[in-house]
Structure 1
Amino acid sequence: MRHLIYALSIVGFSTAAVAQDGELNLVCAGGGSANKVTSGSVQAWDSNGNYGNATVLGQRSQGFADQVRLRLDDDDPRIRMPRTMLPAIRGGEDGWFKLKNVEYGEGEITASIAVNLFNNPKLRLDRYTGAISISGKAGDFTGECQKFNPQSTERAF
């Protein structure tokens, strides 16, 4: 029985540790590299008038600097991803994507980002240092996060 109470207290602590007010808002500045598709075409003719062509597809890494916004709560945790990391076919609502499988640990928060059916980057947020990392098919992002309150934070302009 004592082990059950201890286990329940750990579960209660981890979900209550999101924020005392029920919602945690973060803005994270950083940068990374996005995987972009490249293509090239070649056309050739020989002296007999025969024709041939080929298309080559590949990937290149494109560096970028951007920011990420997170809204963590128990009801609807979401993230706003760097635009350059987003594929052409994606879900989301007004630029915000749902977080799946969110785990609130003592030292870190982890989740998957529901970008589309085949692209679910992994999110890791260090609760002590504020370091964030996002890694997936579309690229990688690392940065530093700060808490803010959208209702009381003064706008820059």
Structure 2
Amino acid sequence: MRCLPVIAVLLAASATPAIAQTPPDVADLVGARAAGGETQLEARGYRFVTTNVVRDTKWSFWWSERQRQCISVATAEGRYSAIGTVPAANCNAGGSAAMRPTQPHDRISLVCIGAGSGPAAQSTSGYRYNRKSRKFEPEFGTTMGREAFSSDLEIEIADGVGRVHPSGKLVSPIHSGGSDGWWPIADLLVTPDRITGSYRMNGLNKPRIDYDRRTRIVHVRAATEFTGRCEEQ
């Protein structure tokens, strides 16, 4: 397993699966309506950074310059369902040095093993009746189907930057953009219970990664699909 110098916050594996600890200064906003909650967050010195939707929950990220703190706010059915601290890199949308972590932390490193399926050419053969010769003649052809396979991949996240190392059939015969078997993860989002992003295998193949930190199940969806179980190293 390769090691990287890392300064990204990893929410402890022993933490409760619901969400990271709620900061005391915003604890009273859990359960509040989203519209009023945003006003309160701004009044308490938080600045909106970005938002992302994962299934039925909207995750918004807010930065407090005074407290040097990034928080994630989960909104479901129009109310704040949970608020928790997250790695400062999640609020580093504009690359501002003021929002970067100031001391080293643990890294996120995943090794995932599973199975999937991908497009594959399949040879066909048979007989076709030839009206001119009035005979059945052999016929051969090729059709596109899907082929099952077993494989693995690695995911590493450091200082808000992620990369993925797919193996075997997860690597397209024609690919570009990788370096020593690693591809950078774009649109990376790290929340207390999920990691999502995508990588560009080639111009037409851009797999999407969706890792559930509660179940430790990862899905990779593109022309080739993969489902695996991961272990955090």
TM-score (structure 1 length as normaliser): 0.72
1:111-122 to 2 correspondence within 5 Å?
Answer: 111-122=197-208
58-67 or 74-83: bigger deviation = 74-83
Any idea what SS the aligned residue of 1:84 has? helix
CA RMSD after TM alignment: 3.1
**What is the CA-CA distance between 1:13 and the residue it aligns to?**
3.6
1:81 aligns with 2:169: no
**What is the CA-CA distance between 1:107 and the residue it aligns to?**
1.6
1:2 aligns with 2:74: no
Q: State, as a whole percentage, how many aligned pairs show the same letter.
A: 25
5+ residue gaps in structure 2?
1-41, 48-61, 64-69, 73-83, 91-103, 134-138
- Name the CA shift for 1:59/1:3 in 2 (closer, same or farther; >3 Å): farther
- Name the CA shift for 1:17/1:108 in 2 (closer, same or farther; >3 Å): farther
Task: Determine which structure has greater relative contact order: mean sequence separation of CA pairs < 8 Å that are 6+ residues apart, divided by chain length.
Answer: 1
**What is the CA-CA distance between 1:95 and the residue it aligns to?**
1.3
1:35 aligns with 2:119: yes
Corresponding residue for 2:53? none
5+ residue gaps in structure 1?
48-53, 149-157
1:98 aligns with 2:184: yes
> What is the number of equivalent residue pairs in this alignment?
139
- Name the CA shift for 1:58/1:73 in 2 (closer, same or farther; >3 Å): farther
CA distance in 1, matches of 2:89, 2:213: 10
Structure 1 residue identity aligned to 2:107: E
**C-alpha distance after superposition, 1:30-69 (max 9, x if no partner):** 111122234679xxx977xxxxxx9955322111112111
1:23 aligns with 2:64: no
Any idea what SS the aligned residue of 1:116 has? coil
Q: Pick the structure with greater CA Rg.
A: 2
Is the 8 Å Cα contact of residues 220 and 226 (structure 2) preserved in structure 1? yes
CA distance in 2, matches of 1:59, 1:128: 36
CA distance in 2, matches of 1:136, 1:87: 11
